[in-house]
Amino acid sequence: MPNLGFSFKTQIEHTFEMEMTVMYLYSDLEDFVRKLYYFLKISKAYQIDKFLIAEKLNVSIRYFDETSEAISINNKNYIFLNKSLSRPQRWQVFAHELCHILRHSGYQYNMPLLFRELQEWQADCFMYHFCVPTFMLKEMELPLRINEATWFVAETFNVEIEFARKRLNMWINKRQSFLLQKRVAESVTLYERSR
């Protein structure tokens, strides 16, 4: 096959090649999640259990018919999960609500709308990183095809398919941004040396 200057590699194949040449820097959120899991003594996906996590963090899980939420009453933390959610949805919503307990304070409905929206956005970001932690994802041997990798992540971390697809895309995009930064830095260095 002639060299066309590009290849038809999948995103994941390309990402694995980058892994050999790009150092990964954890974001503050990824680092917080990694340290939290280490505190919980959880280092592998099969060890993740929302009930064990809740117990270790002194959070009580309750099921009810209303919209899921997290509340603190008399220094006791509760996560109320809607009982009609599927098992993966419960795990995802648990992570979202756990963020409110660990990283936010105050009663959201007394806050200005923009601040409430910020907290919801932060809880969603936390949810993706807590349900599928970067430090675990980095250690996995993923299938080379994106659809197979998506199914693998969904099954391994007990999340919905679309959730797994979005999380994988987040991870791939971050790795590709590191590759771009590396290439720009190399170009700048070459340019400066040639002057």
Instruction: Enumerate long-range contacts of 46-54, CB under 8 Å, 24 or more apart.
Output: 48/157, 48/158, 50/90, 50/91, 50/94, 53/98, 54/79, 54/94
The per-residue pLDDT for 73 is 86
Contact between 160 and 92 (Cβ < 8 Å): yes
CA distance 118 to 104: 11
Task: Measure CA 50 to chain center.
Answer: 15
Distances from the Cα of 36 to the Cα of 20, 31, 179, angstroms: 27, 8, 28
How is residue 83 written in tokens? 């009982």
pLDDT at 133 exceeding the cut of 60: yes
- Of the chain, the percentage scoring pLDDT greater than 70 comes to 87
Higher per-residue pLDDT: 75 or 29: 29
- Tens of pLDDT, residue by residue over 99-125, are 999 998 766 677 788 888 898 999 999
Give the pLDDT mean for 65-75.
90
What is the identity of the amino acid at 106?
Answer: G
Strand order in the sheet with 76-82: 59-64, 76-82, 69-73
Give 21-51 pLDDT, tens digit per residue. Answer: 456 788 999 999 999 999 999 999 999 999 9
Amino acid at 117: E
- Higher local confidence (pLDDT), 185 or 147: 147
Percent of the chain with pLDDT over 90: 62
Which residues, in sequence order, are bridge partners of residue 59? 77
pLDDT class of 74 with cuts at 50, 70, 90? confident
